[in-house]
């Protein structure tokens, strides 16, 4: 298995970044359908398709950014920038993944194909245009997460609450802003054209603004949205023993975990610890991983047990 992931072609697909596509499961998680087999497998199919489309986009981006990546202390070790993967081979893989990903999305539904096509086009425009301009680059990253969340809606037919959509948007903007801040401070603007248009104080204000907006949006979601109600033994026990408990806004107890997660992420980003690789931070930092796991368990318990 280790040798497989050491293969330059596999590494170029960036499988470590596929965790971003887990956003597709948000629709069934927060509408109470996570454990319904049909909707789970539809979301899983959507996840696999978006992994293929994401990898296609990453390869395309690496081809476009080849000159800058060779100057970057970290990115110069990527398969394309290091010369371990030929450009023509990378282009072939990118085309095949994109083509078959779109065909598979069309087989699921026409509307899902439309979202998948928008996802690919967004990444093409991002690689060719958006990433060269301040603000547009951050918004491009955030919109890709919104499209992932919307794809999860389309493939299952369940809709995310408005405030949760806003939370996803603001968290994505927060992560993108901290990433740019780390790149500017650690690498300088030479490795990314858009960084010439940023100042560290501006990115500081973005981080503060989007972090605050994330907390506000998530807090409103927990307070205003009614969770799905299931008939479970524990719920029946509460009805008999403590009926007032069913009227409580239990989701609000998950707010501290989100607050801690954002604070911890910002701390790591400003210390310069892997902030240029958000997917590495959220999978290797023990306090942050624990916060995410406890938050997930709390959400599942509140939605599916209470």
% the chain with pLDDT above 90: 62
pLDDT > 70 in the chain, percent: 88
Confidence of residue 278 (pLDDT cuts 50, 70, 90): confident
For the cut 80, the answer to whether the pLDDT of residue 36 exceeds it is yes
Q: What is the pTM of this model?
A: 0.90
**Tens of pLDDT along 286-298?**
999 999 999 999 9
In SS3 terms, the chain reads as CHHHHHCHHHHHCCHHHHHHHHHHHHHHHCCCCCCCHHHHHHHHHHHHHHHHHHHHHHHHHHHHCHHHHCCCCCHHHCCCCCCCCCHHHHHHHHHHHHHHHHHHHHHHCHHHHHHHHHHHHHHHHHHHCHHHCCCHHHHHHHHHHHHHHHHHHHHHCCCCCHHHHHHHHHHHHHHHHHHHHHHHHHCCHHHCHHHHHCCHHHHHHHHHHHHHHHHHHHHHHHHHCCCCCCCCHHHHHHHHHCHHHHHCCHHHHHHHHHHHHHHHHHHHHHCCCCCCCHHHHHHHCHHHHHHHHHHHHHHHHHHHCC
CA-to-CA distance for 291 and 294, rounded, in angstroms?
5
Of the pLDDT bands very low, low, confident and very high (cuts 50, 70, 90), residue 249 is: confident
Place of tokens 């940023």: 198
C-alpha–C-alpha distance, residues 306 and 236, integer Å: 9
Summarize the confidence of residues 263-291 as an average pLDDT: 85
CATH architecture, range 1-160? Orthogonal Bundle (1.10)
Give tens-digit pLDDT for 132-169.
Answer: 888 999 999 999 999 999 999 999 999 999 999 999 99
- pLDDT confidence of residue 5: 66
Q: What average pLDDT does this structure show over 85-110?
A: 96
d(CA 101, CA 120): 10
Between the alpha carbon of residue 161 and those of residues 11, 29, 172, 224, the distances in Å are 36, 12, 17, 10
Contact 50, 151 (CB under 8 A): yes
């Amino acid at each position: 298995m280790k040798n497989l992931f050491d293969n330059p072609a596999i590494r170029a697909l960036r499988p470590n970044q596929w965790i971003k596509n887990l956003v597709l499961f948000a629709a069934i998680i927060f509408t109470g359908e996570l454990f319904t087999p049909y909707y789970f497998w539809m979301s899983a199919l959507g996840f696999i398709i978006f992994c293929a489309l994401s990898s296609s986009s990453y390869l395309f981006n690496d081809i476009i950014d080849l000159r800058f990546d060779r100057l970057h202390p970290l990115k110069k070790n990527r398969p394309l920038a290091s010369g371990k993967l030929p450009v023509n081979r990378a282009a072939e893989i990118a085309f095949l993944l994109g083509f078959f990903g779109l065909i598979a999305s069309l087989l699921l539904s026409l509307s899902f194909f439309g979202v998948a096509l928008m996802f690919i086009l967004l990444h093409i425009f991002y690689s060719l245009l958006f990433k060269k301009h301040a603000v547009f680059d951050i918004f491009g990253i955030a919109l890709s997460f919104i499209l992932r969340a919307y794809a999860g809606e389309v493939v299952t037919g369940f809709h995310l609450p408005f405030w949760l959509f806003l939370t996803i948007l603001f968290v994505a903007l927060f992560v993108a802003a901290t990433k740019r801040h780390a790149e500017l401070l650690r690498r300088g603007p030479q490795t990314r054209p858009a960084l010439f248009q940023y100042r560290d104080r501006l990115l500081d204000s973005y981080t503060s603004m989007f972090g605050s907006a994330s907390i506000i949006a998530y807090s409103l979601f927990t307070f205003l949205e009614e969770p799905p109600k299931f008939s479970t033994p524990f719920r029946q026990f509460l009805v008999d023993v403590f009926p007032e408990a069913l009227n409580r806004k239990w989701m609000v107890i998950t707010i501290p975990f989100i607050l801690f997660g954002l604070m911890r992420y910002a701390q790591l980003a400003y210390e310069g610890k892997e902030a240029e690789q958000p997917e590495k931070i959220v999978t290797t930092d023990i306090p942050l991983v624990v916060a995410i796991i406890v938050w997930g368990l709390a959400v599942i318990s509140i939605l599916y047990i209470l």
